[in-house]
Structure 1
């Protein structure tokens, strides 16, 4: 009704006309014209309304997509923040073979192993900062050559970052190993630096299907993030000494050569495992998507003994 009331005022009726057959005024023709005008104006108004309202249904798909887009943006932002907060606690490890035994520096520490131009990189791996004292957790198989070296020509170079994000190299020295669980602890001199230890979580409450993320250095590409889910629990994988590691976490988050020793984290950025092994496609060396991590509960039980005694608890009295 309001829309019809807003139409232009119709003109007044035309003066009466007469015909030769009658002297009485006739309003027939003007009445028809007025009626047609009203109908025409009403039709135009309705058509105008329909024209205005037609685009509205076409907006529904875009309106419906907006919450999905917002949700997607929020999820991406969460993963970006997760990586930014966790990656400073992840280190890059290079296993080196030196051409000659280096001279000890005045501090008794070969800080800059990179100065030896003849040093040969025999392998790379990952690890994560355990505490502010410079202890680093990694896999035993990442540093096994250094652990068994009798020549003095093996060395380990660690690239890490302090709390401010400044990267620096240090020599890593082994303080403890546990081949049965494929774990090792390195120590670097962090005098003058403030480290950001990783946040330790738990693996006892994990559920198949929950999200997980791996951070490491596959094929030497530093600070690489891969995403996936917990694919299985309670798996059994071989250890470097031939025994079985029980209770391993299976994930489809990509793990390749160089990821070993890096953290597997949950959606809160808490470490739930140490990335250790992957099945590769035959003849390709490419991950098949079946990857494994040592559960963090096992790591928490083992690492303190490695730091204090250099060997796991099971070996203390042997």
Structure 2
């Protein structure tokens, strides 16, 4: 199977520059916060979000070199994403991410929250210095969306009345918003038309939804080693995702287990079994494929290039990991 990093070939050099720049952007004025941030940046993430920004940048600047503002946007995108992970881990009380200890488990919740705030503040500062009001608005909306998504997830814990529509809306806030808005922002920095900017946003939106649904499926089908965190952790924490919501339509007993918050011995194991026995995972696969196909449709305005092909191939990669 093609690896996701091989799909980044058109921007490999750009990603190497990005990793070097991120270390410098964090700064050394706050040693503990810097140590926490450097721990995250060195944790082996795939750099998917900045890679998409760089691919869109190169795919819309075919006869020109991408600008320092394109590179800075990619760096800002990774900083915002990383900040959100730090806060998520505090809220979820996670000890492991990407198979390494989380910032909160190493430094404590107080430092982790401050580290996340620090990264959000740093990203906002560099964002303002792009001197492009439309791009500032787009990425500022992302930061607001992250908070909205986290609040909604917290309010909907163990809520068996949650609809697929509400789940997708929360998934947009927590995952797709950053990919959608940063893709559009990259196009705007290239001076694309309003129509193409709108299509780049739609590509990012549907790709982000497909990606999140894929991750939610893997929580039931992949091992703890592959996930880099305990399998079934979302369900255990009351975060009801597409496979569970679909499974509850077939398995009423699943809702009973969830509503009592797995308070009895064996509840969580039985809940996992019920999801596996249902069509919930298959229906979730179909939902992910639907959004992946929609994403590709919105790339038709891009001229053919290695970068535009990589953006298309990324949607295939997301779907390919479902089988």
TM-score (norm 2): 0.24
Structure holding more helix per residue: 2
> Which gives a bigger RCO, structure 1 or 2 (Cα 8 Å, sep 6+)?
2
Structure holding more strand per residue: 1
Computing the radius of gyration over CA atoms, which structure comes out larger, 1 or 2? 1
TM-score (norm 1): 0.24
